[in-house]
Structure 1
Amino acid sequence: MTILCVRFQLPPLYEAALPGLLGLLEEFTPVVEALPPDGALADLRGAERYFGRDAVELASVIRVRALALHGVDCAIGAGPGPMLARMALREARPGATRAVPEGDVAGFLAGKPVAALPGVGTATARTLCEYGLDTLGRVAAAPLSTLQRLVGARTGRELHEKANGVDRGRVVPNGISRSLATERPFTRDELDPERHRRALLSATEELGSRLRALDKVCRVLTLTVRYADRSATVRTRTLREPTAHSAALTDAAHAMYEALGLQRARVRALALRAEDLTPAEQATHQLTFDPVDEKVRRIEQVADRARARFGPRAVMPGSLAA
């Protein structure tokens, strides 16, 4: 086992701690891939030789240091490759490591549903299940030619390899993502434009708070509207100036929504993504003599402190509290 997949148990809106936790992992290996908002992959092949400990032992050290230095617990999956480490993480409890030994990969995968395999979507899983290939053990035992006839040559080969425990993935060192996203699904297909606007308000409040917690601003905002027929509309807008101000994000999101001109559209979910993130100290802000704007920004700072202490729902717009 040489790969760890770590999910830190971060409190809400506490993404600002992730860079420090990645730095903790980098004390053991330089090959660390960030998985925002709360996770990372780490390749420990060199670390195992250097420290004279296996991946599970190093995982225990990482957990203790995360608790001692950052006050954050974590769940860890360990496996011979990134795919297996991710799958092991799904079974790991906070404060524990779920390890998949190299000699037990087939046993680990055999009884799992085919949809548990990363990269297998709903349509592919449905096709395989229609032919009785409902577990990874059965997929692994199926002839390659059969899988290729069912799902295509390339997909069939990849599926056959993964079901047999062949993990060709690599840990790719990277930095923190330059975007943040949030989604507001509806419990049923929603026709009411007012509920759509409230969902967007909730999403922009969350994005603004997360951006400010990270000391970031965004230049681009993308709106995705998902409909009942599984189609989607995507609109992107470049903001007049980089911002983390919730009111500015709300105005932009509502403007994109209104421009769609939806009439009795059955909306299943709304998603917003803040893109082109830059440090807040590098951003410029147009000065204004509007006392209302300055007052709103001061209130926003107070609200952020309250949310950090009492949780994300401690302060919210009145229309969302109703």
Structure 2
Amino acid sequence: MGRQDGSTRQVSADSVDSSTAPILHVDLDAFFASVELLERPDLADLPVVVAHNSLRSVVTAANYPARKFGVRSAIPLSRALQLCPSAIVLEPHFEKYRHYSRLVMSIFDDMTPLVERLGIDEAFLDVAGARGVIGPPGDVARLIRERVRAETGLACSVGAAATKFVAKLASGRAKPDGLLVIPRSETLSFLHPLPVGALWGVGAVTEKSLLGRGLHTIGDIAQTPLDVLRRVVGDAGGRKLHALANGIDPRPVTRDTAEKSIGHEVTFEIDVSDAGTLRRELLRQASQVGRRLRASGLEGRTVVLKLRYADFTTITRSRTLAEPTDVGRRIADEVRDLYEAVGAHPPVRLIGVRMEQLTDAGTNAAGLWDDDEDWRGAERVIDDVGERFGTDLVRPASLMKPAAELGPSKRRPHL
């Protein structure tokens, strides 16, 4: 789907008939970098990278001039500066990003009640019901872009289509600062020339398998018998790819505002090999996750361990519990087992703990007994003490070692 640097940009004329394209995907362009440049407009035409000033830092965002050099988010800052030695590095300010995200999302909410937030900087909107008030989907999209620019100074790209999948592809094609409408009748002519890697769910391994069988475009996938695709990518994957390649995506825009996961992770400045240090960090993060679950009135059923090694190899391991929990000690026990099951570990650069499959606390039927009852009571007492005197006053004894023992790091909670 292009290099995401604007080199394949495609936009629609204002006269395009958008009546059959009520699903919008709105994506803020180079969001973090664009927010930083609001206060540095003198840098707008220069390559800019957003990252912490550290040799071990990774790129949080890059503006389009930097992307033309091959700079991308999530690559090491050192690599970014090799690709683009003239890049200007700006520190990230996540509170600013949250502020501007709220402003933009409120604009979406003014257009339609059917807004499905995908993250801090993008969302799906179903604007079929806005025709009588604002106009056809193309007019809604143009109004959104105008208001975002006027009220925040930021640019966004919009894809409009009959389905979510095609709308998302269209917004990517419209970048930066564009609008691309794909009428329903033009869905297949838009999709079929695109590379197979543009399909949702096609990662590097699946793409290699498809290319190895001579399937290079989405059109190739559409014309391939379903049984053949099943043999290549499995039954579920084959059916999904075949449907998407033929423009079939029945998923509605849903107002799902619930948190999908709660977690914490830390990136060490110096790679860590000591197992005891890593186990203490897992306990620390599990305790934080449990506290956030209780504060949110949630429980989680799936425990996830994330590890990134010195060579940037990243693995995740997960375990689904018989009963959901909000107890940090239970989460710690499970994630420690996942850590041990991996076996020998090379030096660790990043480690994280996450809980998924969240539900409201107390909505699941209780078992005959509660193995976590004692720990749950103790942790709630710790919560009460923390609210009154600070969260670090009471904690597990194994975490009483000086924080410096872990070495400098970037700790980040995430949803």
After superposition, residues 105-254 of structure 1 pair within 5 angstroms as 105-152=187-234, 155-177=237-259, 179-181=261-263, 191-193=273-275, 196=278, 222-226=303-307, 232-234=317-319, 238=325
Structure 2 letter corresponding to 1:42: L
The 8 Å contact of residues 124 and 151 in structure 1, kept in 2 or not, is answered as yes
Provide the residue aligned with 2:72 in structure 1: none
Structure 2 residue runs of 5 or longer lacking an equivalent are 1-20, 33-92, 361-378, 393-402, 410-415
Does 78-87 or 163-172 show the bigger shift?
163-172
> For 2:134 and 2:278, how far apart are their aligned partners in 1?
56
1:100 and 2:182 are equivalent in the alignment: yes
Q: Normalization by structure 2: what TM-score?
A: 0.51
Structure 1 letter corresponding to 2:111: F
The 8 Å contact of residues 223 and 253 in structure 1, kept in 2 or not, is answered as no
The structure 1 residue matched to 2:344, chosen from 237, 256, 264, is 264
Provide the residue aligned with 1:4 in structure 2: 24
Provide the residue aligned with 1:308 in structure 2: none
Change (3 A) 1:287 1:176: closer
> For 2:263 and 2:383, how far apart are their aligned partners in 1?
29
Offset at residue 269 of structure 1 (A): 6.0
Q: What's the RMSD between the two structures over aligned residues?
A: 5.0
The structure 2 residue matched to 1:29, chosen from 87, 92, 112, is 112
Change (3 A) 1:153 1:198: closer
Sequence identity percentage: 27
The structure 2 residue matched to 1:87, chosen from 169, 186, 202, is 169
1:136-156 C-alpha deviation (Å, 9 max, x unpaired): 122223344433454455543
> For 2:225 and 2:149, how far apart are their aligned partners in 1?
47
> For 1:96 and 1:25, how far apart are their aligned partners in 2?
17
The structure 1 residue matched to 2:121, chosen from 38, 47, 60, is 38
Structure 1 residue runs of 5 or longer lacking an equivalent are 241-248, 279-283, 298-316
The 8 Å contact of residues 79 and 100 in structure 1, kept in 2 or not, is answered as yes
Number of equivalenced pairs: 286
> For 1:274 and 1:92, how far apart are their aligned partners in 2?
35
Offset at residue 43 of structure 1 (A): 0.8
Change (3 A) 1:68 1:81: same
Q: Normalization by structure 1: what TM-score?
A: 0.63
Offset at residue 216 of structure 1 (A): 6.2
Q: Tell me, what secondary structure is at the counterpart of 1:91?
A: helix
1:255-314 C-alpha deviation (Å, 9 max, x unpaired): 776666746324686333366699xxxxx98589999x94788xxxxxxxxxxxxxxxxx
Offset at residue 53 of structure 1 (A): 3.2
> For 1:16 and 1:253, how far apart are their aligned partners in 2?
32
Offset at residue 3 of structure 1 (A): 0.9
Offset at residue 170 of structure 1 (A): 1.6
> For 1:182 and 1:45, how far apart are their aligned partners in 2?
39
